[in-house]
């Protein structure tokens, strides 16, 4: 170990003595006005790393107006090695003034400009290099890197594209994918993300970029494929929810539910997700699961009427009429004119054998429909037929007639004529009873009940 240290020390000493000899020679040459020798030694000192002494002699040469086109550049190199960037740049600019096509000189200037955080000037310098040498890959790469770090992603992406036409690197492909992702250029993100994976293999971040781009481009199968390869830890709650809603929009409910469940697990306050999950299960006729999520939504937001409405619908489908009734009534309390809620409440009362309550709800349905009978013809027919039937069961034949006449107007039939004939007979309106009995017999001459009515009224 001591021997190695001794060798290193002797080597350093030799180099130092050699440098001192050169400095001495240069000084003597300066005194003798042998400026070419001084210039040569200054270059050697600079190449050997002695920027301080190199700059001292180069400054002296400038002071005596020594003429060499490389002098400003060498002095710029010396200042650059010493970290005096402003002076380095001034000398490089002087050198460029006499050698405007010197690409290496422009690279040196661009590097200094970047160190000074003069990013626009640095990029402009690289653009000048590109104009001189359109196939200079480094100029495109360096400019792209600056734009990328400055978060000027759209411009960075375009610059990386020019670089990739000339050369390739993993970093450039990863950066261009991110640049276009941040710029929301989904076509390019998808294109370069896939190329990155093709050339350099898969990684989680690129998978995320491709998945997001595919989703935006409505390439849903591709989106699902790549999202499945992205760890949940790399997706924010907002991103998870957006993915779920996107799959919901294309009716891929099983995939949507997986993402919604992840959202709820991370943030239980996002109660709107509960309602979406409930709807997904409802569509799949998994009513117990639907009730679970509708109930969770109602607990999280007791003012959200649709949660009670659809919970009532789900309970009805399960045959749990009392639970359906409770939730449908809560829904109607908040939103009394919602037609379907009232309709299902009527069905629920029928399921509970509360026929008088069902009749009251059917009356509400007719009020809600109002003059829009043509749009809700089936519900109006059902309501009037049920109400007529209830009136007849209570022997309120006059009340039954008003509902039967509405049924006749919307959908005449022999059964309706028979009931009208019987009701008119019971109320003493013999002419009407005879007219309806004859309507039935015209189509069905053997109807015994209608013949009996005519016989009773001496109209046979």
Task: Write the DSSP string, 206-248.
Answer: HHHHHHHHHHHTT-HHHHHHHHTTS-GGGS-HHHHHHHHHHHH
pLDDT in tens, the chain (460 residues): 545 544 444 344 344 444 568 888 878 877 777 878 877 887 888 888 887 887 787 878 787 888 878 888 788 777 778 888 888 788 888 888 888 898 888 888 888 988 888 888 889 888 999 999 999 999 999 999 999 999 999 999 999 999 999 999 999 999 999 999 999 999 999 999 999 999 999 999 999 999 999 999 989 888 888 988 899 889 999 889 888 888 877 778 778 888 888 888 888 888 888 898 899 899 999 999 999 999 989 998 999 999 999 999 999 999 999 999 999 999 999 999 999 999 999 999 999 999 999 999 999 999 999 988 888 999 999 999 999 999 999 999 999 999 999 999 999 999 999 999 999 999 999 999 999 999 999 999 999 999 999 999 987 7
Residues 6 or more apart whose CB falls under 8 angstroms from that of 115 comprise 85
Distance of CA 144 to the CA centre of its chain: 27
Report CA 215 to chain centroid distance, whole Å.
Answer: 7
pTM for this one? 0.63
* SS3 letters across 350-365: HHCCCHHHHHHHHHHH
The structural domains of the chain, ordered by start, are: 16-99 (1.25.40), 118-234 (1.25.40.10), 236-335 (1.25.40.10)
The crossing angle, in degrees rounded to 10, of helices 414-427 and 397-410 is 150
- Nearest alpha-carbon partner for 137 in 172, 105, 112: 172
Among candidates 172, 167, 169, 139, which has minimal Cα distance to 157? 172
């Amino acid at each position: 170990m001591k021997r190695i240290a001794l060798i290193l020390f002797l080597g350093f000493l030799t180099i130092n003595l050699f440098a001192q000899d050169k400095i001495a020679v240069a000084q003597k040459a300066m005194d003798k006005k042998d400026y070419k020798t001084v210039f040569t030694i200054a270059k050697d000192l600079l190449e050997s790393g002695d920027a301080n002494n190199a700059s001292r002699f180069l400054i002296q040469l400038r002071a005596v107006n020594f003429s060499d086109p490389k002098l400003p550049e060498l002095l710029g190199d010396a200042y650059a090695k010493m970290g005096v960037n402003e002076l380095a740049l001034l000398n490089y600019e002087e050198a460029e003034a006499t050698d405007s096509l010197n690409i290496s000189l422009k690279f040196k200037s661009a590097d200094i400009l970047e160190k000074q955080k003069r990013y626009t000037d640095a990029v402009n310098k690289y653009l000048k290099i590109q104009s001189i040498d359109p196939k200079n890959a480094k100029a495109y790469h360096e400019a792209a890197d600056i734009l990328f770090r400055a978060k000027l992603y759209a411009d960075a992406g375009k610059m990386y594209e020019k670089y990739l036409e000339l050369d390739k690197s993993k970093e450039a492909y990863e950066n261009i994918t991110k640049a276009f992702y941040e710029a929301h250029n989904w076509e390019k993100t998808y294109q370069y993300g896939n190329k990155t994976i093709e050339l350099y293999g898969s990684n989680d971040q690129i998978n995320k970029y491709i998945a997001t781009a595919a989703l935006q481009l409505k390439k849903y199968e591709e989106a699902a494929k790549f999202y499945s390869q992205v760890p949940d830890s790399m997706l924010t709650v907002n991103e998870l929810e957006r993915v779920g809603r996107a799959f919901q929009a294309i009716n891929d409910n099983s995939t949507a539910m997986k993402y919604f469940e992840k959202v709820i697990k991370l943030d239980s306050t996002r109660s709107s997700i509960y309602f979406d999950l409930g709807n997904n299960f409802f569509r799949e006729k998994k009513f117990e699961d639907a009730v679970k999520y509708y109930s969770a939504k109602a607990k999280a937001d007791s003012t959200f009427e649709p949660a009670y409405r659809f919970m009532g619908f789900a309970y009805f489908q399960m045959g749990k009429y009392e639970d359906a009734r409770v939730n449908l009534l809560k829904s109607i309390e908040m939103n009394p004119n919602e037609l379907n809620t009232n309709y299902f409440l009527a069905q629920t009362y029928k399921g509970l054998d509360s026929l008088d309550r069902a009749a009251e709800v059917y009356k509400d349905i007719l009020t809600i429909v109002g003059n829009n009978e043509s749009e809700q013809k089936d519900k109006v027919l059902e309501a009037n037929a049920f109400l007529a039937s209830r009136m007849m069961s209570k022997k309120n034949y006059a009340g039954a007639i008003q509902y039967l006449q509405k049924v006749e107007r919307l959908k005449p039939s022999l059964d309706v004529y028979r009931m009208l004939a019987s009701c008119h007979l019971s109320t003493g309106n013999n002419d009407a009873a005879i007219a309806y009995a004859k309507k039935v017999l015209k189509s069905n001459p053997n109807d015994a009940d209608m013949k009996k009515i005519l016989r009773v009224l001496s109209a046979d």
